């Protein structure tokens, strides 16, 4: 190991070298487990389906502070477009490039090193520290954090504070932290018509034409106005498919894929009811397969938010912005347990892209932030 590298950067490099494309962990969790075991964590491996997860805990009493994150990464995309092999990380001019550098192996390394430093200084800290780590965040997310949380809930093991290492920052590390996320409700809409010849439309029923007025109404509907913490709920169509490929055949069926990103002003059931009411009004013969990916959640205030804001101000000298924008995260599975949930991680500018990268200095700053948050909440 290059002794010039900080412990956080050295561990980040080790983790990136593992080709842990979702839902496979490669060897990331073993690397983390070895480090955590050495500082007194008890490890519980939890495998569900083909997914490796682990729950690590140091301490048996409350309050319980948990770091949450994922070792899986998205596919690399065209390897030839990378400036370096994506699983052979490189540092040049203070920038670390490699798949998972920002999302989120850098955060995982910062969490581990922050804990090592905190435990060394406070071996008899208050309460407990835990890690909830999955390899199923970037995929379908059915056998990862959601299953671990179900296990913890079944035995009444309650998380007080949860810090998720998702890349929340926009320009500078700590400039934005996520104190909530919008809900995500998807649907696959099938509209049934009657196939026929385009020259004889009176003998057919065109599902494209039938849907068009209803779709216009759905697109223009004001679902809510949002609130102080969330933007207004949005409705977006991502795919529409119909037709046989021939230009003289009226299709017999149309399929449209859509998604709501919704605020705490609405519920899943209200969105479903209002959507179906619009479709019913237009007399469509249809069916919707609904899928709820997560309810909206919000940690408006509390010890965790205060600790994070204070740490960012003290260590970086900047004021942070609380935000609920962006996609979903595994925080959506943890927040319903009653835990305060916050996301704080590196700059997200290159996540999921070719040449994903992060500033080396940012990961060392992130380590200091995590350690300082632990100091505020659990120092003995």
Q: Which residues of 69-81 are buried (b: 16+ CB within 10 A; e: fewer)?
A: bbbbbbebeeeee
Cβ atoms of 277 and 221 closer than 8 Å: no
| Annotated catalytic residue within 137, 330, 362, 372 | 137
Which stretch of DSSP H or E encloses residue 373? helix 360-378
Cis omega (within 30 of 0) on the bond before 175?
no
Q: How far apart are CA 140 and CA 50, in angstroms?
A: 12
Task: Quickly count: other Cβ atoms within 10 Å of residue 355's Cβ.
Answer: 16
Which stretch of DSSP H or E encloses residue 219? helix 207-220
In 243-353, the DSSP E strands lie at 249-250, 253-262, 286-294, 297-298, 321-323, 340-343
181 bridge partner residues: 297
Cβ atoms of 72 and 25 closer than 8 Å: yes
Q: State yes or no: is 143 an active-site residue.
A: no
| Annotated catalytic residue within 14, 25, 52, 72 | 72
Q: What distances in angstroms separate CA 151 from CA 44, 46, 59, 94, 147, one per listed residue?
A: 11, 9, 18, 41, 6
Tokens, residue 62: 């409350």
Q: How far apart are CA 36 and CA 11, in angstroms?
A: 13
Q: State yes or no: is 72 an active-site residue.
A: yes
Q: How far apart are CA 247 and CA 169, in angstroms?
A: 49
List active site positions. 72, 137
């Amino acid at each position: 190991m290059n002794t010039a590298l900080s412990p956080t950067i050295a561990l980040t490099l080790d983790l990136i070298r593992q080709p842990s494309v979702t839902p496979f962990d490669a060897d990331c969790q073993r690397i983390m487990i070895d480090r955590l075991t050495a500082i007194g964590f008890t490890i519980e491996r939890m495998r569900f389906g083909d997914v490796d997860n682990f729950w690590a805990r140091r301490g048996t009493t409350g309050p319980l502070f948990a770091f949450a994150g994922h070792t899986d990464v998205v596919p690399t995309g065209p390897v030839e477009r990378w400036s370096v092999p994506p699983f052979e990380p490189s540092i040049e001019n203070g920038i670390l490039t490699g798949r998972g550098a920002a999302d989120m192996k850098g955060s995982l390394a910062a969490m581990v090193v922050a804990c090592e430093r905190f435990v060394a200084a406070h071996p008899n800290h208050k309460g407990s520290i835990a890690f909830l780590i999955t390899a199923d965040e970037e995929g379908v997310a059915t056998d990862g954090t959601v299953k671990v949380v179900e296990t913890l809930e079944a035995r009444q093991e309650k998380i007080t504070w949860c810090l998720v290492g998702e890349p929340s920052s926009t320009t500078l590390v700590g400039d934005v932290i996520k104190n909530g996320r919008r809900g995500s409700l998807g649907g696959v809409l099938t509209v049934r018509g009657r196939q026929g010849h385009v020259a004889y439309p009176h003998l057919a029923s065109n599902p494209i034409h039938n849907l068009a007025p209803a779709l216009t109404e759905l697109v223009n509907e004001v679902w809510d106005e949002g609130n102080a913490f969330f933007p207004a709920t949005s409705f977006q169509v991502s795919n529409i498919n119909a037709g046989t490929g021939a230009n003289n055949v009226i299709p017999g069926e149309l399929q449209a894929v859509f998604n709501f990103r919704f605020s705490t002003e609405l519920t899943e059931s209200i969105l479903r009811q209002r959507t179906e009411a619009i479709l019913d009004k237009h007399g469509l013969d249809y069916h919707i397969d609904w899928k709820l990916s997560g309810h909206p959640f919000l940690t408006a205030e509390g010890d965790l938010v205060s600790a994070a804001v204070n740490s960012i101000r003290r260590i970086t000298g900047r004021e942070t912005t609380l935000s609920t924008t962006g996609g979903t995260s595994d925080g959506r599975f943890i927040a319903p347990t009653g835990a305060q949930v916050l996301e704080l991680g590196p700059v997200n500018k290159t996540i999921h892209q070719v040449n994903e990268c992060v500033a080396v200095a940012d990961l060392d700053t992130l380590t200091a932030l995590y350690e300082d948050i632990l100091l505020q909440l659990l120092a003995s």
